[in-house]
Chain A
């Protein structure tokens, strides 16, 4: 589904991603871990199409199409979804209007007819249950004044509404209380299918107890320096990143 080959990206001339290789197949869950500042959010942003980043080398294919050629909205319509690490507050834009516009533009792209107000509302009701999000929250302006946890929940709600093929969850667990973590993970799991794939960026093994990954990758200084199964996450939880950093540095010397 997603094939990243030797991806290099920089921001304002500073290289951040320095040769990422990653293959993701439909049905899979990949976890990406790594120390602060290693480039996890950068990778997520580059995949979603943030224009501040300049891709200097490499290629990304999504369902056989050149992802890097597409505008952010095209990527979303093709089925890429990024749950932001820091969702943006947008005063004055109503959550409902925004979502209806988004859902219908995505549907149009997929050759489906636009949802009228009634159908849209019933879809909203259905998905709201999934992530147990409060109606009151959605009657407010988009993310405006939402608590950290409410914002994260709203991201997963939007994901449920847009039915993406590839979901990238950037630290969706941070800021969630334990109950919310279960609810949100449960939502993500219910949306999982053999046709779609998920990338979870996280610092904590705990999330991976709920959303069980097929693969775990460690990103360090803009490269994937280690990959393994979910046991790797347990090992990281126990030992931290120093041993990996040492491994990388010693290889670099040789």
Chain B
């Protein structure tokens, strides 16, 4: 291992890349090779030693293959009350036979598309993992919502992951929505076993003007899963995009969320909850770029950390010189439940315009002892009182999930965790 350069780790992936989207793949490869995997002290990955983690854990650097799945397994993994569209993936590859969806959606494998501008939203030059995915993704999904179409029920992207040999899973998602289109997506992965694998996912979302899009995600991978994911979207005039990300488990998780507000009167919302125990490490890097006047961004990330878990939050807000009348709000609050849990939080605001409203704040503390005593003094036992307080803390994020069955599902997972483990 020691003789390898940072670029060499993923050579087998690069060498076995498919031949479609050749130009983009070469560009991705080029970017990946130029940047290399993040070195030990790389600023953007300072607290998340992802390269080391991958090299220690992933033994077989190849894209994990497609596997068989039956309908029962799919049905069991859909949460109660959900009746929207379902797209099924195995190791990142779309399984159309097991999927069924709203006829107003147009869906295909990426390999069945010719001219997708892959990489035009999530740019490979910004992150080596985006480059790696662009160079070597085996296949992915193309989702399109036509102009003025409103997809009433959410679309569930249900991914089954299994890699008993410690391999790589590289999902690629392209979503486009026409002007005035409305849709929301739920991203949910199921680990088929507890073995290690590395997910390197890229989601690009292209919204039209006056569009309303939501992307909700729950991450409860197996304890040995390593994941890097990038979600990037351009938000146009009079449009709204909302992301809610709930992280519950995994070995090491890094989420990059990039919102580009490129049309006025647009709104970008970022909500996140990380509820961690054991040695789980979750790093949320968010970036919102205000390039035009009269746009708004709201961000609230909250963490509850037990045991030896580790949380990282980095929230960048750029307000460019032209982006007057911007409203940008950011908040990150953490509760540490053990002495060994650690959070590193860093707001990074760069404001070049002068007529803007921006605020940010971050807090890290213990559970409020005064409040805990108050509840206990009314007869509520300690565990339940803690649960009530933590749940109240977490609820502020979950309430932003607009789809009821998914919100209920998240609430039940979160309250189970808060009742038992914490």
Given contacts A50-B373, A92-B395, A92-B396, contact A105 B389 (CB under 8 A): no
On whether the beta carbons of A162 and B371 are closer than 8 Å, the reply is: no
Interface membership of B329, Cβ < 8 A: no
Whole-angstrom distance between the Cβ of A90 and the nearest chain B Cβ: 5
Whole-angstrom distance between the Cβ of B23 and the nearest chain A Cβ: 51
Given contacts A88-B370, A90-B371, contact A102 B378 (CB under 8 A): yes
Number of A-B contacts (CB under 8 A): 74
Tell me which residues across on chain A come within 8 A of B298, comparing CB atoms. none
Complex: A77 Cα to B377 Cα, angstroms: 9
On whether the beta carbons of A76 and B393 are closer than 8 Å, the reply is: no
Interface membership of B126, Cβ < 8 A: no
Tell me which residues across on chain B come within 8 A of A97, comparing CB atoms. 388
Give residues 235-285 of B contacting A (CB, 8 Å). none
Count contacts on B: residues with CB < 8 A to the other chain: 23
Most buried by B among A49, A97, A105: A105
Which segment, of B70-78, B135-143, B210-218, B379-387, faces chain A?
Answer: B379-387
Complex: A51 Cα to B377 Cα, angstroms: 11
Interface membership of A109, Cβ < 8 A: yes
**Which single member of A49, A105, A109 contacts B377 (CB below 8 Å)?**
A49
Q: What is the interface of chain B mostly: helix, strand, loop, or mixed? A: helix
Tell me which residues across on chain B come within 8 A of A99, comparing CB atoms. 378
Q: What is the interface of chain A mostly: helix, strand, loop, or mixed? A: helix
Interface membership of B109, Cβ < 8 A: no
Interface membership of A39, Cβ < 8 A: no
**Which single member of B382, B392, B393 contacts A73 (CB below 8 Å)?**
B382
On whether the beta carbons of A48 and B377 are closer than 8 Å, the reply is: yes
Tell me which residues across on chain B come within 8 A of A141, comparing CB atoms. 392
Q: In the complex, which residue of chain A has the Cβ closest to the Cβ of B370?
A: A88
Count contacts on A: residues with CB < 8 A to the other chain: 31
Tell me which residues across on chain B come within 8 A of A101, comparing CB atoms. 380, 384, 388
On whether the beta carbons of A90 and B376 are closer than 8 Å, the reply is: no
On whether the beta carbons of B370 and A73 are closer than 8 Å, the reply is: no
On whether the beta carbons of B379 and A102 are closer than 8 Å, the reply is: yes
Tell me which residues across on chain B come within 8 A of A90, comparing CB atoms. 371, 374-375, 389, 392
Given contacts A90-B392, A92-B396, contact A71 B382 (CB under 8 A): yes
Whole-angstrom distance between the Cβ of B320 and the nearest chain A Cβ: 35
Whole-angstrom distance between the Cβ of B133 and the nearest chain A Cβ: 38
Tell me which residues across on chain A come within 8 A of B395, comparing CB atoms. 92
Complex: A109 Cα to B378 Cα, angstroms: 13
B53-85 interface mask toward A, CB cutoff 8 Å, 1 = contact, 0 = none? 000000000000000000000000000000000
**Known pairs A93-B392, A102-B379. 7 more at Cβ < 8 A?**
A90-B374, A92-B392, A93-B389, A103-B379, A105-B379, A105-B381, A162-B379
